[in-house]
Amino acid sequence: MRPTGVVLIAVYHFLAALMLALVGISLFAGGTIFSAMMGGANSGVFAGLGLLVGVAGGIFFLVFALVYAAAAWGIWTMREWRRILSIVMAVISLFFSLPGLFLMAMSMNLFLGGYRVLRLGISVLIIWYLMQPQVKAAFRSS
């Protein structure tokens, strides 16, 4: 039997993978469109830059989408090493959220700050939950 927290973490990772994949695809499309728009204006540098940013950003986000999808599937199927992967990804998320909180305090942007606080809280909860002895035991026993 899968604990409820494990189900919630798996759903969270699946949704994160979906969102990251959509951002990656959007970057591919946006970079291509920007490159085509700038290429028509005889500005090869901007066309190449747009294409480079679109492709590199798209690949970056699609790789992270695959990692989140793998973690989600592993958490769903109760794999021990994927529990560890989820903890590592939550720690990485913490490191990406902290500079945003600092910038939020400087610019007083409450919407993005609220998002970052929520992401920070979710990351802390994932780490805390997956480190609980009964959850570790559930992963080891399956």
What confidence score (pLDDT) does residue 9 get? 94
The closest alpha carbon to 41, from 54, 52, 50, 53, belongs to: 50
Contact assessment for residue 75 and residue 6, using Cβ atoms and an 8 Å cutoff: yes
Token pair recorded at residue 61: 């986000």
Compute the distance between CA of residue 142 and CA of residue 139 in angstroms, rounded to an integer. Answer: 6
> Residue 9's CB: how many other CB atoms inside 10 A?
24
pLDDT digit string, tens, across residues 35-84? 766 665 556 666 677 777 788 888 999 999 999 999 999 999 988 888 89
Residue 131 DSSP one-character state = T
pTM of the entire predicted model: 0.80
pLDDT digit string, tens, across residues 75-88? 999 888 888 999 99
Q: What percent of the chain has pLDDT over 70?
A: 82
Token pair recorded at residue 54: 């679109």
Domain ranges of the chain: 4-141
21, pLDDT greater than 90 = yes
